[in-house]
Amino acid sequence: MLKLLTGFLVGLVCLDLARGDTFYVSPVHLGDACSPDFPCSFQSALSKAENNGESDIIYVNPGLYRFNSTLTAHVGDGMGLSILALDPSDKPVLDGDYDGDPSTDDRIQIMQLAGWAITVDGLIFRNGKGDNGGALFVAGEFFTIFTLRNSEFYGNEAFEGGALYVMNTVGRVLLLGNTFKDNSSSKDGGAVYTSCNRSSVIERNTIRENRGDSTVYLMVEPSSNCSFSGNLVVNNTIYLNASLRSDVWGSLHLINNTFVGGNMPGVYVVLESSSADLNLYNNLFWDTGSSVLAGRSIFVLANTGGVQLFNNLFGQYFITFPEADGTPDNSIESPGVYIKDLDPDRYKHGSNFTQDPQFVNAQAGDYRLAPTSPAVDSGTLSLPAGAYLGSKDIDLNPRNIDGNNDDLAVVDIGAYEYNPFGLTSAGGCSSAPSGSLFLPVAILFLLRRLLRKVGYMLYY
């Protein structure tokens, strides 16, 4: 009976979400039909999607779009909106500098979105400027699922979240396979400022040459799991904090990332309560924190929260035993690792080391692993509960390859998996388990709508 009821509810929700219109936009719009033959302006399509009470798709034709006002859409309660490149091989460019003249300061924030299920796929955002999110600002509620994938952000600027700002009211956040380069913020999040509610995944993104007090800022909410996995974070300019800065009330999982360069630490985390957790597994840190004396790879204020460090390659000499550095036993101070106010009962570590990672060609920006790299086959898949690592690396090669020819397939350390076959998988879809929370969220959403309808009928 329960299976039948569950199937019925999911079916209703899927039908409800699937129902909607398809709109087409073009830089040279031909009226308001928003059809394949007569595409409309971008804002016309967004306004139609905002007002029709359905879950719609907007296909964006290739070309250059310039805007003198911010694109906006706030779709109704329970409704979704997908904005997709019509031709993924020819991504449309959304430019916030209307006149194209860098000498005039007339740039605008490119897009603001709010809704229940929002997807942006395959767009290029450049030259946007705003208070929060120079290119893209996203708002919603706890039930919201925001997905951003295969998109690119260049030269955007904001007070916080130079390219992207996602409010802490948004539920699950999925940032998958995007590129953030040359964005800037006055405060945190030179590239990205986002909340991490529920089971959020930030996976396989390239984040390089951005500027701000931090490059990525993550606010990990209570009872949430935030997995930052398989990302390449390189050569960013940090004014104050770190390449990745996070305030954590729930659990933050940093898995298989590569951090290279930057004048401040690779990671700076504050555990905001004793129930918070920080887990670092299979990360590669190299040449980070040149302006600091301690904690060049990681700088953690634990506040008696849980900390686990396993199978990381740190770029400097480090200590992981609190009693080995001459400071109180609840703290670690070393060039590579700084952790303050540990709870000895909630601190675990093992298989961390320091060694030249042997990139293919770091000077040319190639941070793949050479065949002789000590990071090859040196990771672990024994991850903590709630942590997520996809089945593909940042190049879309399979994870867990036998890279050192010992007949044992072991995951590598860092964003790249050394592939002795030299093959890269086709496609661009993330291996993130996008449907793992769909059922409970869908049921709650449907029940809420049913109760509203019942209340309406009883009232009238």
DSSP codes of every residue in 106-134? -----EEEESSEEEEES-EEES-EEEE-S
Q: Return the exposure string of 287-301: e unless at least 16 CB atoms fall within 10 Å of the residue's CB, then b.
A: bbbeebebbbbbbbe
Task: Return the number of other C-beta atoms located less than 10 Å from residue 460's C-beta.
Answer: 5
Contacts of 132 (CB under 8 A, 6+ apart): 158, 159, 160, 161, 165, 193
Return the closest-CA partner of residue 121 out of 86, 97, 156, 168: 86
C-alpha distances in angstroms, 186 versus 123, 157, 158, 162, 224? Answer: 25, 8, 7, 8, 28
Q: Measure the CA dihedral 353/359/362/365, to 10°.
A: -120
**Spatial strand order in the sheet of 152-154:** 64-66, 93-95, 124-126, 152-154, 179-181, 206-208, 232-234, 258-260, 284-286
In the block, tokens 């388990």 appear at 433
Predicted confidence (pLDDT) per residue in 14-55, tens digit = 434 445 899 999 999 888 999 999 999 999 999 999 988 889
pLDDT value of residue 12: 39
Helix (H) or strand (E) holding 159, with range, is: strand 157-160
pLDDT value of residue 18: 45
CA distance 388 to 201: 7
For residues 245 and 272, the answer to whether their CB atoms sit within 8 Å is no
**pLDDT, block means (10 residues), the chain with 460 residues:** 40 47 94 95 95 92 96 87 97 93 86 93 97 95 87 98 91 96 98 94 98 97 95 97 97 98 95 95 96 92 96 92 73 93 93 97 96 96 95 94 86 95 51 40 40 33
Residues facing 152 on adjacent strands: 124, 179
Quote the tokens at residue 348. 């675990």
Contacts of 11 (CB under 8 A, 6+ apart): none
For residues 372 and 382, the answer to whether their CB atoms sit within 8 Å is no
The residue type of 3 is: K
pLDDT value of residue 198: 87
Return the closest-CA partner of residue 403 out of 376, 374, 381: 376
42 φψ region: left (φ > 0), alpha (ψ -120 to 50), beta (else): alpha
* φ, ψ for residue 441, nearest 5 deg: -65, -40
Return the closest-CA partner of residue 272 out of 240, 232, 300: 300
Helix (H) or strand (E) holding 179, with range, is: strand 179-181
Helix (H) or strand (E) holding 11, with range, is: helix 2-18
Q: Are strands 337-340 and 332-333 parallel, antiparallel or unpaired?
A: antiparallel
Max CA distance (Å), the chain: 74
Quote the tokens at residue 97. 């500098």
For residues 51 and 73, the answer to whether their CB atoms sit within 8 Å is no
Contacts of 182 (CB under 8 A, 6+ apart): 154, 155, 209, 210
Q: What is the pTM of this model?
A: 0.88
Q: How many residues are listed for the chain in this entry?
A: 460
